[in-house]
Amino acid sequence: MSTKTVTVVENIMSANDRVAQENRNQLVEQGIFAINIMASPGAGKTSVILQTIKALSKHVRIGVIEGDTAPVTIDADKIIKAGMPAIQINTGGACHLDAPMVNTALKQMPLAEIDLLIIENVGNLICPAGFKLGSHANIVVASTPEGDDKPYKYPNIYRGIEVLIINKTDLLPYIEFDMDYFQKGVKMLNPDLVSFPMSCKTGEGVDQWSQWLLSRIRRTSGNE
């Protein structure tokens, strides 16, 4: 019984990974750099995306895939208002994006017209960690009011990422958040991680993050 269950799960995972690889190939062919942004609900994924658009839209063309569990277009509307193409994936209650969902969205995205694809995953610090989408880099947006113990409690999501944005630094004077304890937890799980403290309200850290992203985009398109 348990052997059979494991086999089924492995098949699902490898089917997902196969489509993730197809997505990646398609992105590479078009010279697009793609990031997958994951976070708890309300950590500020959409705010980070809007700041990124503001910082980079003069330099690169950006497209956004918005993952939502419900058929509301609150986030997609904000992206479109910022002048960028946005495709919404409604997961129908499911707790994460998977590679086939992104594959479907890619068919609707004007790929020839973008250099950077930003995928906003569903707000969830657990399930998205297990599903590759085909992006070049996985990013987590942490949020200071969530507390400094999150790396210790939700380790898996921190393990497979390249960049950590620590958002809402403007709230630090009003909350208890030990940055050293937080960073110690993060480094234990993922010593090579690049992290950017940020406030989407004051703009702190947006430049540093945007410069990192721009250099990665240029490296990708230079390889083509």
* Footprint of its own copies (CB under 8 A): 40-42, 68-70, 72, 74-75, 93, 95, 122-127, 143, 145-147, 149-150, 152-156, 168, 170-171, 174-175
Buried b (16+ CB within 10 A) or exposed e, 81-115: ebebbbbbbbbeeeebbbbbbbbebbeebebeebb
Of residues 152 and 212, the one with the C-beta less far from its own copies: 152
Looking at residue 44, the DSSP 8-state letter turns out to be S
Structure tokens at 15: 């089917």
- Shortest Å distance, C-beta 33 to its own copies: 27
Of residues 25 and 156, the one with the C-beta less far from its own copies: 156
Of residues 69 and 221, the one with the C-beta less far from its own copies: 69
- Dmax (CA) for the chain in angstroms is 56
Across the beta sheet with 116-120, the strand order is: 86-90, 62-68, 116-120, 33-39, 137-143, 163-167, 194-197
∠ CA 14-91-216, rounded to 5°: 65
- Shortest Å distance, C-beta 52 to its own copies: 18
Of residues 104 and 188, the one with the C-beta less far from its own copies: 188
- Shortest Å distance, C-beta 181 to its own copies: 11
- 152 — phi, psi (to 5°)? -75, -35
Of residues 134 and 151, the one with the C-beta less far from its own copies: 151
Buried b (16+ CB within 10 A) or exposed e, 165-175: bbbbbeeeeee
- Shortest Å distance, C-beta 27 to its own copies: 27
- Shortest Å distance, C-beta 208 to its own copies: 23
- Shortest Å distance, C-beta 40 to its own copies: 5
Of residues 159 and 219, the one with the C-beta less far from its own copies: 159
- 34 — phi, psi (to 5°)? -125, 135
